[in-house]
Amino acid sequence: MIDATKEIIRGLEDVLVCNTKVSDVDGDHGVLTYRGYDIIDLAASSTFEETTWLLTEGELPSKAQLTTFKQELANNRVAPPAVLQVIKALPRDTHPMGLLRTAISAYGCTDPHEADTSVAAYKKIGTQLVAQIATIGAAIWRISQELPVIAPDPSLSYAGNFLYMLQGTKPSADVERIMDIALVCHADHEIPASTFSAMVVASSLADVYSAITGALGSLKGSLHGGANEQVLNNLDAIGDVKNVDAYMQKVRTEKLKVPGIGHRVYKTYDPRAIIFKKLAAQRAALDPATAKTFAIATALETQCVEHFKSKDLYPNVDYFSGVIYRSLGIDPRMYTPIFAIARTAGWVARLVEYLPQNRLFRPRGKYEGYTKREYVAVEKR
């Protein structure tokens, strides 16, 4: 029997579950690093392909290594036809995250090497998943809109190819770069719920597909990846800068949470929110509709920071991402799938790192029920 005096850590907050070198979050100072590199520097100078290599391999690639890796990703972009058939067989109004979760699970069924749980297999299959999840994500949207699926273009970058498959036209260099930065910023973030879910599944020596499917199910929730869609919906509901005061009065009176404000680890600004705010400002300068949404967001941000300062709640990564994605012509229902596409790189890196130190996760629950009861036959109840 477990020691009943042990403290229950709700949500496993700040509980250490493994050793890691992949990324680190300094919540007190608002710093995020991948393998020791500051996310501010990576967003300014790196690409998603380079960042993916960094997360898994531990070092920035040489020019030759990066060229080879980019080609490997490009060569693996074509999704299995059976996966596309599964997507087409499901209702068109299914949320894209539900379709993505189901598609990745189906993908595993097409792989004869699915059951291989060696580190080498995790890395090889993981690279294929990183390459193909963008193709699958774009196909999900095209199919849901009764549009033809667009085959990947190996001549384009990861970010550029995703936008091309999603929208049907090749993006400008500026738009491509914005998507690249977004993918870099979402690639990893220590051990949130989705990453932990993937690790829990993999700790039983399940296949990579099962682990990523578990992560997708966790990311789908509104308290995790689904928050970015909620932020934009909330900004739309406010409707105008002049309505921010009334909305905040309701927040104060009813003690409401504001989507995109606050983080379990950061006690100051999420550095990714700082990056995204600058990108959102750039997009707002180009388009009146984006400028209106951005104005609401910044006005709301100012009031939230003041209202929640005693609780150390500030904008997180979700707060401005929707403003950016909408300015690129992307529907809100695709915001969390984009998060998932990027985070697959981090999930794979975590699984590859954890496997050699693997131990099956087996937490305990503090039992508070009856201690001894006599069974009574159904005729006497």
Name which CATH class applies to 227-327. mainly alpha
pLDDT tens, residue by residue, 6-20:
788 888 888 899 999
- Write down the residue that tokens 């829990």 correspond to: 200
pTM (2 decimals)? 0.94
pLDDT greater than 70 at residue 1: no
- Write down the residue that tokens 């300062």 correspond to: 309
Catalytic: 29?
no
The answer to whether the beta carbons of residues 196 and 87 sit under 8 Å apart is: no
Q: Residue 4: pLDDT band by 50, 70, 90 thresholds? A: low
Percent over 90 (pLDDT), the chain: 91
Q: In 3-state terms, what secondary structure has residue 204?
A: coil
User: Where do the CATH 1.10.230.10 domains begin and end in the chain?
Assistant: 227-327
Question: Distance (Å, rounded) from C-alpha 52 to C-alpha 73?
Answer: 10
Write down the catalytic residue from 186, 189, 224, 270.
224
Write down the catalytic residue from 180, 186, 189, 263.
263
pLDDT tens, residue by residue, 231-256:
999 999 999 999 999 999 999 999 99
Question: Distance (Å, rounded) from C-alpha 256 to C-alpha 250?
Answer: 8
SS (H, E, C) 299-358: HHHHHHHHHCHHHCCCECCHHHHHHHHHHCCCCHHHHHHHHHHHHHHHHHHHHHHHHHHC
Catalytic: 307?
no
Q: Would you identify the CATH topology of the domain 23-190+332-357? A: Citrate Synthase; domain 1 (1.10.580)
Write down the catalytic residue from 188, 207, 270, 318.
318
pLDDT tens, residue by residue, 83-116:
999 999 999 999 999 999 999 999 999 999 999 9
pLDDT tens, residue by residue, 257-266:
999 999 989 9
Non-local CB neighbours of 13 within 8 Å, separated by 6+ positions: 264
According to the model, what pLDDT value does residue 368 have?
Answer: 87
User: Where do the CATH 1.10.580.10 domains begin and end in the chain?
Assistant: 23-190+332-357
Chain centroid to CA 245: 31
Catalytic: 263?
yes
pLDDT tens, residue by residue, 193-230:
999 999 999 999 999 999 999 999 999 988 787 788 89
